[in-house]
Amino acid sequence: MDTYARRVAVAITGRTQWGEGRGPAGYSGRDHIDLIADLLFKPDEMFREELIPLGRKKLKAEFGLDPDAKFFAPGELMLNEGLHRLSGEVRTKMDRNNKYRPSRDEQAVIDAQNKMATLSFFMTGQGIAIVPIEGTETFASAGIKHTDHGTEEVQRALLAMQEAYLNDGDMNAAVDTLINAINANTQHPQTLASKINMELLYNTHKPWRMAAIATVLALLLLIARWIVRSKVITVLIALAILWAMAEQAFGLWLRVAILERAPVSNTYESLLWMGIVAVILGIVGQLLSPRSWYLAAGLSASVLSILFAMLVPLQDQTNSLPAVLRSNYWLIVHVLTIVASYGALLLAAVLAHVYLFKDVLLRRPSEKSERIVVQVYRMMQIGVILLTAGTILGGVWAADSWGRFWGWDPKETWSLISILTYFILLHARYVGWIRDFGLAVSAIVGFLAIVWTFYGVNYVMASGLHSYGFGSGGEIWVAIWALAEVVFVAICLWRRPSKPSRSRRKSGTNRSTVAHKSAAVT
């Protein structure tokens, strides 16, 4: 019920809880359980509740709605002829052309219609699947007005629960009665009961949010350690990192145990795995090179991955696995490898930001700059090896699933473009076409290609055989990030000294020699 209530709240309002002064009328400061209880026990009243969000002021004004209002009652929207007409026109266009992409106004109307469809399910008093069927992992439905055969006792318990809810009665006793009625009907299989308990723990503990807090704490302590040399701070940094890693491992284990598959089947999980790989590489790199920036960059990359993962809609975080992906072997071999390469290349991009900010924007070059450039180079090498291996393994999987190794699908094409981009950049560094500054800029620009391959193909192009990865949402945030990167690189180009000093030229020569030797060894 907890997970179901969260999904329903997101499907209708876009959120699972609403702070004071925010959210639908009557739900300020409340959460998903309040909403699902109202939908179940007083569905007729919900017809008049302002629950459905609708943006686009111009669109609202055009259809006679209050342009300043954020939420609208289902009844008001259902009776609006303009919305119905536009919705019908859009759906006709989409039926005639499966590649048709609705405008932002059209998409807003479609979203509102989908939310009303979700609400209409409850308004008709339909039952919800809460009664396990003996010997299976499926459930029978029970509701206030409609119930499946054999669940009449559960329906009576729901009616008693409705009576208590509407009259401020003893809800704890009513809930116990409902649970007893469900258990009297049949028992959960033990494996299913364990999954349900783990899912409730996952929902309430929020391991990824805890991991983000621990990682930010570790970063702040790292900054303090640079200012004040103290063994106490060093110990606290280690504890914060252990906390962050423990939360990530716990979250990963829960998802694997609940879903019984590798945790990389959608954008949300891939972002989390990317952050885990980045922080692991950061820790390993720091242990091998104590005076490096690997750890700070890895922690930063982990926080960024978790923050962007939180932008993924809830329904896309817990979606069911498409048939084409129901192979744990290939999920582990292909997808984990590909996403691991993204983690390494993200780490390279973060290190490149460190170099450019320190060496170019602040104009404080030092011997440490040489080490940062080598670190960028190393992460790019690791990333391109993993990316190439993962793409080849993907071709083998495609041959097994679709009967061909390569078909110039948009996802395949952009994976190849990403590989070639990094091969060109690494080759340019090896032969001396680009030096420290050029390599740092290349790491950032190259990661833009990775983001397009990972996000753009699925969320913007949305075409090809890899349709299981398609989605929507976050476009504005990704566009803001990409624009910020372009601006950052442009400022660095403007701030870059036109002529390096004699010491910088000498240092640059030494760095070039070091990089060439290390590349040759690799």
Given a cut of 80, is residue 144 above it in pLDDT? yes
The SS3 call for residue 79 is coil
**pTM to 2 decimal places:** 0.75
457 domain-assigned: yes
Given a cut of 60, is residue 279 above it in pLDDT? yes
Q: Give me the sign of the Cα torsion angle 382, 388, 393, 394.
A: positive
Closest alpha carbon to 348 in 425, 266, 457, 252: 425
Last residue of one domain, picked from the residues 169, 188, 207: 188
Span 14-43, mean pLDDT? 80
94 domain-assigned: yes
Span 64-90, mean pLDDT? 86
Pair 342, 482 in one domain:
yes
298 domain-assigned: no
232 domain-assigned: no
Pair 181, 322 in one domain:
no
Q: How confident is the model at residue 164 (pLDDT cuts 50, 70, 90)?
A: very high
Q: Which residues of 239-258 are buried (b: 16+ CB within 10 A; e: fewer)?
A: ebbebbbebbebbbebbeeb
Given a cut of 50, is residue 461 above it in pLDDT? yes
317 domain-assigned: yes
Domain total in the chain: 2
The pLDDT of residue 1 is 83
385 domain-assigned: yes
Closest alpha carbon to 25 in 44, 50, 8, 43: 50
Q: How confident is the model at residue 325 (pLDDT cuts 50, 70, 90)?
A: low
Report CA 510 to chain centroid distance, whole Å. 42
Last residue of one domain, picked from the residues 143, 170, 188: 188
Span 160-189, mean pLDDT? 87
The SS3 call for residue 404 is coil
The SS3 call for residue 131 is strand
Tokens 């252990």 identify what position?
A: 242
Q: How confident is the model at residue 507 (pLDDT cuts 50, 70, 90)?
A: very low
Given a cut of 80, is residue 473 above it in pLDDT? no
* pLDDT tens per residue, range 176-210: 999 899 888 776 667 777 888 898 899 889 999 99
The pLDDT of residue 465 is 52
219 domain-assigned: no
* pLDDT tens per residue, range 29-49: 788 888 888 888 888 888 888
The pLDDT of residue 378 is 92
Q: Which amino acid is at 343?
A: G
Closest alpha carbon to 219 in 203, 252, 241, 242: 241
The pLDDT of residue 328 is 66
Last residue of one domain, picked from the residues 188, 207, 228: 188
239 domain-assigned: no
Domain extent at residue 343: 313-521
